[in-house]
Amino acid sequence: MKIAILGYGTVGRGVDEIVGKHTADVEVARILELPDRLADERMTSDFRDIVEDPEIALVVECMGGLEPAHTYIIEALAAGKSVVTSNKAVVAEYFEEFASQARCSGASLLIEASVGGGIPWIASIEKVRRIDEVSSFSGIMNGTTNYIVDAMAKNDADFDEVLAAAQALGYAERDSSADIDGIDVKNKTIISACVAFDVSCTKEFPVSGIRTLTNGDLDVLRGMGRGVKLLGRGVRSDGRYAVSVEPVAVPLSSLEANVPSNFNLISLEGSTIGPLKFYGQGAGMLPTGNAMVQDIIDFANGRRPTYDFSARLAYAPELLTSDYLFRTTASLPGGEGVASGYTILRSLTSEKARELLDDALEKDPTSFMAALPQED
């Protein structure tokens, strides 16, 4: 089977390397690259060389960003060529459009690497859903933020110091806002909800990051028997669903609290299987490349996933309600003081908590918030 790779950066090179070493029946026939980087005879800067080639059955998109990735994916699917992608931003934004185009042309969209890097998360959701309804999911979906929180806690280091170290190690981009402000996890949460709940997930839901996290916050939470992790969460119940991205204060004894470095841990709950947890490397050339090649091999072996978003679920923020810890100099009426500068507000939805955080940030830009879910 002949395939084409769009983009030859970290992930594209990883896919090419793994395919060359481990898949004798798959050939990388074409690579789309910039005109001044055509260093390989397989490379072209003209997408038409790929989309109009009848021998290429599968296009592997490794470009990142929304455009031209969106246009290339749509054109490939319209031409009847299936697509493998790790691009969570473009999938989250255009998932329903891609799925519709794939159904119309008989092509397939394979997105394993878009969430969780090398963790078989999407395939596991699909497998669980053959029998069960997925009632909830939750997880550490971003290795950069997990590395930062873990290093701050273990080394008693400041946020900015650890972020700089993460950038030096290649865990964080120079512009780290997508990671530390929760945008990356938002995209992965949208994709997870679409697959787990079979719904066209709203893009308008509360998203909070860890930009203002301090060692003092970690100390206060530790005194409460908790650590903090940035989690993407989703829940489904009685024809309704809700999703959120926010720091969550998890029990120190939990698996989530003990996930180290840049690893991911994502969980789901099925109606008969119960809780399942998936742990592994969440990003990087080879873990992400591995997930993409798994999709390539699955496609070569006849796997044709489809997504139709047929569940008509109402978005219901009240399904994600918990207590919240705030650290701010702004006034928060009705709160319970637990330490100097720290207040707990009871029974807030994620949306209401985010609204209060926005108000607090206007008065105190260093304000921080974490959900305090009831311990099991």
DSSP string, 139-171: EE--HHHHHHHHHHHHHT--HHHHHHHHHHHTS
- Is the peptide bond between 68 and the residue preceding it cis, with omega within 30 degrees of 0? yes
b vs e for 219-228, b when ≥16 Cβ sit within 10 Å of the residue's Cβ? ebbeebebbb
DSSP string, 38-107: --STTEES-THHHHT-TTEEEEEE---SSTTHHHHHHHHHHTT-EEEE--HHHHHHHHHHHHHHHHHHT-
Tell me the β-bridge partners of 17.
none
Quick check: is 188 catalytic? yes
Check 88, 188, 277, 363 and give the catalytic one.
Answer: 188
In this structure, what DSSP letter does residue 90 have?
H
Give the DSSP H/E element, type plus range, for residue 277.
strand 274-281
321, amino acid identity: T
Residues 6+ apart with CB under 8 A from 286: 14, 17, 18, 118
In this structure, what DSSP letter does residue 41 have?
T
Token pair 């719904």 in the structure block, residue: 199
Residues of the chain by 3-state class (helix, strand, coil), percent to 5: 40, 25, 35
Residues 6+ apart with CB under 8 A from 168: none
In this structure, what DSSP letter does residue 333 have?
T
Token pair 């031409």 in the structure block, residue: 79
Kindly state the greatest CA–CA separation across the chain.
Answer: 67
- Let me know if 118 is exposed, middle or buried by CB neighbors in 10 A (0-12, 13-18, 19+): buried
What are the CA-CA distances from residue 185 to residues 142, 301, 324, 340 (Å)?
6, 31, 20, 31
In this structure, what DSSP letter does residue 132 have?
P
Cα 233 to its chain centre, rounded Å, is: 11
Q: Which residues are catalytic?
A: 188
